[in-house]
Amino acid sequence: MNVSTLQKVRYGYKPKLPLTLSGSTEGITVEFGSPTEAISDREEIKEIFKNTYGKPIASFIIKGKNDKIRRELKVGVILSGGQAPGGHNVIAGLFDGLKKGNPGSVLYGFKRGPSGLLDNKTVILTEEIIDNYRNTGGFDIIGSGRTKIETPDQFASSLETAKKLNLDAVVVIGGDDSNTNAALLAEYFISNGSSTQVIGCPKTIDGDLKNEHIETSFGFDTACKTYSELIGNLCRDTNSAKKYWHFVKLMGRAASHIALECALQTQPNICLISEEVEAKNLSLDKIVEQICASIVKRAENGDNFGIVLIPEGLVEFIPEIKKLIEELNDTMAGEDGAFSSITNFNDRLNWFSGRLSDISLGILKTLPAEIAQQFLMDRDPHGNVQVSRIETEKLLVGMVEKKLSILKERKQYNGKFSALTHFFGYEGRCAFPSNFDADYCYSLGYSAFVLIASGLTGYLSSVKNLTAPADKWIAGGVPLTMMMNLEQRHGSKKPVIRKALVDLNGKPFKTFESNRGQWAEKTSFLVPGPIQYFGPSEVCDNTTVTLSLEHCS
C-alpha cells in the first residue's frame, strides 16, 4: 500500500480512551438506568419492537469482575451509508477490544455495506489489516454501501448469514437510517430465535444524530474543520482581491449543523440556517432580500466582496419550495414508472398539470430550467427528491443578480457584484480524522465490544462528557428505540430515528444570532487554518465550537 508521510506518522498515534475502558477488561461492568420510551408514537413503536422496546440506558463502571468479557466472540462489522472521518478507528477500537477480551475472538468485515451481510461477502480482519488503516480517513478497509435491509427476503438472508458464520453480534456503523435498520435487525433476530446481537455506532458528518446521550456523531468534528479551513481560505482570498462574493453550499441535508459550525469558526457575512427559515416562514424572495441587504450595505462601505454559507437542504425548508417537494414526492411515489418514461423536459412539466397544485406547478415552471430539471431527477433511496443535487447556490446567485439590477435602476445600489459558487461536501468526508474524532471513534468501537460482551442488543454505542479530557469521557449504550418516531417514507408511515435539527434556542445558534448583524456589514472573517495533529492539547484536541457551547456552564 502506498502511503504518505503523514499517514505513516498517524499509524503510530495512540487514541485516548475513557478511564473505564483503558484498564483491564475484566473489571468493566454494565450499570443500567430506568426503562426508556420512544420520542413519540410510543404505542406504535412498542408494537413494532415487541422484544427490544423500553430498554434502559447502559453505563460502564469499574466494579468487581465481569466473566462475560472473556468470552470468545465472533462479530461482523458493517460500514453503512456515506463516509465519515474516523470509521476505521471505530473498527480498530472494536477489534482491539475483542482481542483484549479474548485473543481467539474473530472480527468479520462485511464488504460494501449491508449488501455484504445479505450476500455473506466477508473478510476476516486481522491485526495486519487493521494496522494499515488506524487513524486514517475513508471507509476503504471494507467499503460501504447504501443497501437497505427492509424486505422479508433481505431479513431472512441476514439471519442466514449470521447462522452460517455463527455470529455473536453484528455492528452497524451508520447514520439515523442505518441505525434504524440496526434496530429492526435486532428485533428480527430475537423474534426468529437468533441469539445474534446488533449494536450501532453513531456516524454522520451532518451532526444530526444526537441527543442528551449521543452528544455528537463521529466525523462532524473533522468535516467541519476541513470545510472551515476551505472557507477561511476563501475569506482570506476575497479580502485580498476585494471583488468576489463566494456562495458556498455545505453538506447537511436535513439539518444546518455544519453550516452553523462553519459560521462560528469563520464568521462569514451571511449564513442561512434552514431551521430558522422554516420557523420564520421565510420565502425565497425574503431570503434573497436578506442577502442583498448585506451586499448593498457592504458596497456603501466600499466592500464589494463577501462570503455566503448555504446549507445543502435549504430548499426543503423554504415554505413554497417545501410544499412543491412534498407534492412531487407524493406524486412520484405512486406514478414513478409513468413519469420515468417521459424524456422531454417540457413534456415532463406538462405531465404534472392536474397532479400538482396550481401554486406548486407555477413555482416549478418559473424556476430556471436547469434548476427545475434537478427537482425532477431520479429519486433517492427513500423515494424523495435528491436535494443534494439541487444547485441552491446558483439559484440564489441568479435571483440576487436580478434583485440587485432592480435596486440599481432605482438608484438604491451602486456597487459591483461578481459571484463564484462552491459546494463543499465530498471534500470533508474522508479527511484524516482529527485527534478528537480519532479518540472518539476508537472509544465508540471499544464500547461496542463491551456492549456485545455484556450480552446487549438493540443499543447504540455511546461516549459522552466529550468536552472534558478523554480519560473523563463516559462510555455506555443507548437503546435505539428511544430515539425513534414514525415518519412518512414511500407513501407510508415507517419507524425511523428522528434527526436532531438545529435548536434555535440553543447556545450555538444564539451565539451566531448575536453576532451576525455585525458580520453582515463588517469584514470580520476568521481563518482557522488546517487541522492540527501535533502540538499543545488546546490546539490539537479541541472539539467543535458547537459542542463547546452546548456544554459550557
* Grid cell for residue 437: 474524532
Would you list the DSSP string of 363-411? HHHHS-HHHHHHHTS---TTSS--GGGS-HHHHHHHHHHHHHHHHHHTT
| Domain range annotation of the chain | 32-219+431-446+459-497
Which residues make Cβ contacts (< 8 Å) with residue 442, sequence separation at least 6?
Answer: 15, 17, 89, 90, 92, 93, 96
Q: Are 491 and 392 in contact (CB under 8 A)?
A: no
Rounded Cα distance, 179 and 170, in Å: 12
What CA–CA distances, in Å, run from 171 to 56, 141, 174, 501? 19, 15, 10, 26
pLDDT of residue 383: 65
The Cα–Cα gap between 458 and 52 comes to 6
| Integer Rg of the chain from CA | 24
Tell how many helices (H) and how many strands (E) occur in the chain: 21, 15
> Looking only at Cα atoms, what is the longest distance across the chain?
80
What is the C-alpha separation between 33 and 468, in angstroms, rounded? 23
Contact 320, 283 (CB under 8 A): yes
521: Cβ contacts below 8 Å, ≥ 6 apart? 294, 297, 298, 301
Question: What are the pLDDT tens digits along the chain (553 aa)?
Answer: 688 999 999 999 999 999 999 988 888 999 999 999 999 999 999 999 999 999 999 999 998 777 888 999 999 999 999 999 999 999 999 999 999 999 999 999 999 999 999 999 999 999 999 999 999 999 999 999 999 999 999 999 999 999 999 999 999 999 999 999 999 999 999 999 999 999 999 999 999 999 999 999 999 999 999 999 999 999 999 999 999 999 999 998 889 999 999 999 999 999 999 999 999 999 999 999 999 999 999 999 999 999 999 999 999 999 999 999 888 888 877 776 777 788 888 888 888 888 899 999 998 988 888 898 888 887 666 667 787 789 999 999 999 999 999 999 999 999 999 999 999 999 999 999 999 999 999 999 999 999 999 999 999 999 999 999 999 999 999 999 999 999 987 668 999 999 999 999 999 999 999 999 999 999 999 999 999 999 999 899 999 999 999 998 6
- The CA distance from 405 to 401, in Å, is 6
Judged by DSSP in three states, 278 sits in helix
Other beta carbons within 10 Å of 261:
28
Residue among 220, 274, 285 nearest 249 (CA): 274
206 annotated active-site? yes
Phi-psi region of 490 (alpha: psi -120 to 50; beta: other; left: phi over 0): left
Would you tell me the crossing angle of helices 392-409 and 284-300 to the nearest 10 degrees? Answer: 60
Nearest of 53, 32, 26 to residue 483 by alpha carbon: 53
Per DSSP bridges, beta strands 169-174 and 74-79 are: parallel
Distance, CA of 497 to CA of 505 (rounded, Å) = 22
| Alpha carbons 551 and 542: distance in angstroms, whole number | 13
The answer for residues whose C-beta is within 8 angstroms of residue 553's C-beta and 6 or more apart is none
DSSP state of 532: P
> Which is catalytic among the residues 206, 208, 303, 439?
206
Q: Provide the pLDDT for residue 381.
A: 62
The residue among 387, 334, 384, 326 whose CA lies nearest residue 357 is: 326
Amino acid letter at 392?
T
Answer positive or negative: Cα dihedral of 168, 91, 93, 552: negative
d(CA 27, CA 68): 11
Domain at 32-219+431-446+459-497, CATH from 3.40.50.450, 1.10.579.10, 3.40.630.10, 2.40.110.10: 3.40.50.450
